[in-house]
Structure formats: structure tokens, C-alpha cells
Amino acid sequence: MRNFEQPLEWDSLLIHRYDLAGPRYTSYPTAPQFREAFSQSALFRAIVRSNLAHRPLSLYFHIPFCESLCYYCGCNKVVTHNKSRALPYIQRMIQELSLYADLFEPGKQVQQVHWGGGTPTFISDDEMSLLMNASRRLFSFADDESAEFSIEIHPGQIAPDRLRHLRKLGFNRISMGVQDFDPHVQRAVNRFNTYEQVADLTRATREHQYQSISMDLIYGLPLQNQQSLHNTLQKVIDLEPDRLSLFNYAHMPHLFKSQKMISESELPSPAEKLDMLQHAIETLQVAGYVYIGMDHFAKPSDPLAIAQQQGKLQRNFQGYSTHGNCDLLALGVSSISMIDNVYVQNAKDLTTYQQKMDMGLLPIMKGFSLNQEDILRRFVINQLICHFELAFADVMREFGIDAQAHFQKELIQLQPMREDGLLSINSSGIYVHNKGRLLIRRICMVFDEYLQKQQSTVSPIRYSKII
């Protein structure tokens, strides 16, 4: 049995020792390194390289509208009951997609689609059809069973019969933001969805033959405790989703204004949060879920778990992915694309985004071009965060570099973690042990060249805690 297929080993002492603040590594370099001085010509050259390599695409659409404000949320969102705001925004996203379609090779295949938000189901069925039909017109969509077309839904704000329409549009995966079923917790964060609503949606999803159901939960919310989280977990396990995400609530009201609505006196203590996490991990593993890493769990038969077993798992701005061979083209306000060796981020402000589109311009505000050292370190971090090991032979094969010589300083920094039993290092590579998997972000931080430099600055970037 490979290391990541075994149950996690919980070591409270080591978790307290290494539970620092750090990046989540949905990209490397991370978003704080993006620069407004970025030249769009670098993006155009990256698209040319993507075309020459004939890489397929993953499309992400950010639909920011929500009918209500969830106090914990740190996403880029627009809270409104005015449904008429949706259509002009969708039309501009189609315009943006059309601008890109002119740059990519004809017939560029799309193997993965994700609609996120916000709440994508804020828009009407007709508006959904408009956006999906335009996407299919501008790009060639894969129709085989390996394609992944997913959408995020708020289970408290969608009727089960709408899932029929989404399935007809081609969506084959649903992601539900459950968060917590306890009514006291729901009131404290202004997020409401009952067990019955989630159960009805789950049944409808299976009736319409969706390939996968994913559910998101959060631990560390106000008024939450181990027993209330246990009750939510048991209800979720009874519904048998294919994937589960268990996110740590990071209380950062200095960054996210909506979190100021949460009473800090009602938040569980750090010790209580760790107890909740330990109990949740043990409960999910007993129920048969595999810990993928970084808050994610999946059934052993799920493509995410299979990709990890086969060494094909990747990580991008949407988290873990089974389509690591794709370039990521992201549309809409604040979205981030990853094309070849370039990252670009759209304007974060809705008005600015729409003004750019009205001028016929790509709405890019920031970007970053990776150099060869960045690409090397991205590879290292991706291997560790997805597979919990780094084979030095893979570094030599991919980059022609002696990893032990090149990362001599980093290997020295890993020695305390080696002595603490988080990992092993030998002539073949780095191997993270079970007790180190929860702390994989801390291990990856050693290879983050920008973070190492930033730690000596006067105003370091503020990240959430690892656990």
C-alpha cells in the first residue's frame, strides 16, 4: 500500500510545532507575486506556444452574483436581488471568450469546464443556455466520458428540477456548498440549507445520471463544536458524495469585510478546531474516504483518487485536478488564467471589468511570466502537494538538473522535519510520511523562493494558518 493510501497519522505535538501561516499553492508563484506591469504580449506568445503544443483547454467562468451574503465568504462576489444584472455580465463574458477564440488554434478542444462564483445558479436557465451554447460555438468541447463539466450550487437556493436543465447543457458534475447543517451555525454565518434540500438535490443528481457529486464543509465556524460537526458529517456520509472538501475557516476580517459580521467570541478556539479536524478526518476515513490532501477527500473509485494513484494528479487555481495537461482559460471578473508559462488575472472590480470589455479590450489587470527556475519549483511543489514525494530522477528527466545539488540549501532546511519524522530524504528523493501529509504546505514553503525572500521584508504577506 502506497503512503497516501494509508490512514493519516495524527501527531498533535508536530502539528502545533509546524502549524504556521502559508500559501495554499493553487499556483506557484502565488497570486501576490502578480504584477500590474505585466505585458499582454507575453500572454499572446504563451497562447502561440499552447497552440504549437496542441494542449487542450480547461475553461473557468466566474459568475459573482449571490442573492444573500454568507459572512464567512472570501470570494469575489456581488450580493444583489436584481436578476437583470446577470445578462449584461454574461454577454461580456461571451465577448471575452470570443476575443480569446480568435487567438487559439481552430478546433482547440475543451476537456474541462467549471462555473464558479458567487452562485452560478443565480442566472436563469435561458442565460445558462446562452453562455454554454456560445462556449460550444467558439470552442470544440470533448463529449467523451473523460470530460469534466462542473458547476457550483447553493443547495438552499436551487430547485431539484433545475438539475435536469444543467444536465442537458452538458454538466456532469455538481459541487454543493453545504458548510454545516446546524441551524445555530447557519444563523451565525447567514448561510441556510437544510438536510432535506441537500438530500433532494442529491437524489435528483443521481436520477439525471451526473458522474460525480462533491460537497464542501467548513470547520471552525462560529458556534460550531465537535458534536455539531459530527452530526453534519454523519448526514453527509449518509448521502455518499463522491468527493468532500473540509475547509478551515480562516477569520481574516482585515481582508474580507463580510467576516466583520461574525462575532469573534463565538469562534471555536484553535485547540477546539484541531479537535474537530482530527475527529472529521478519522470519521471520513472510517467511512471509506481517501485523504487526497489539502482539505480534500474522495472515494477510492473517484477519478481524483485514481489520478493520485496513477501519479497524474495536478493542482491549479480550482484546486486538485485530473486534467493537468490542460491550459486554464478563465473568464469573468477576478478570474485567473494559466496558459503555458504565464498567469493573468482579470480586473477584480465588476465595473472595471465591464468597462474594459466595452472598449473591446481583454480585462487583464495583473500577470506573471514564469522563468525556468519558477517552472522547476512549480514542478517540485506540485509533486509534493499531489503525490507526497519527489523523485530526483524525475527532476533530472524533466529539467536536466541534479536536484540534490540544486536544492542543497532547501534539503538542509528540511532536516528538522526529517528528524521529526515528517519525511525521509535519500539518494532517490523526498518522501512525506503519513504524519507529514497534513503539514504538506509547510514542507512546500521550503521550496518557495519568493516566500523565503519575503520573510525578511518589513511588510510580509499575511496568509491563513496551514491547519
pLDDT at 1: 46
Per-residue pLDDT of 356-374, as tens digits, reads 999 999 999 999 999 999 9
pLDDT at 274 over 70: yes
Does 223 have pLDDT greater than 60? yes
Report d(CA 178, CA 216) in Å as an integer. 6
Environment class of 264 (CB within 10 Å of its CB; exposed 0-12, middle 13-18, buried 19+)? exposed
Question: 186: part of which helix (H) or strand (E)?
Answer: helix 183-189
Closest CA to 234 of 201, 195, 191, 264: 195
CA distance 337 to 364: 10
Q: Which domains does the chain have, with CATH numbers?
A: 1-29+371-467 (1.10.10.920), 31-329 (3.20.20.70)
Give the separation between CA 385 and CA 437, rounded to whole angstroms: 9
Q: What is the pLDDT of residues 159-215, one digit of tens each?
A: 999 999 999 999 999 999 999 999 999 999 999 999 999 999 999 999 999 999 999
Mean pLDDT of all residues in 55-73: 96
pLDDT band at residue 22, thresholds of 50, 70 and 90?
confident
Asked whether residue 144 carries a pLDDT value surpassing 90, the answer given is: no
Whether the pTM exceeds 0.85: the reply is yes
Report the pLDDT value the prediction gives residue 65, as an integer from 0 to 100.
97
CB 294 within 8 A of CB 321: no
pLDDT at 41 over 50: yes
Query: Across the chain, what does the average pLDDT equal?
Result: 94
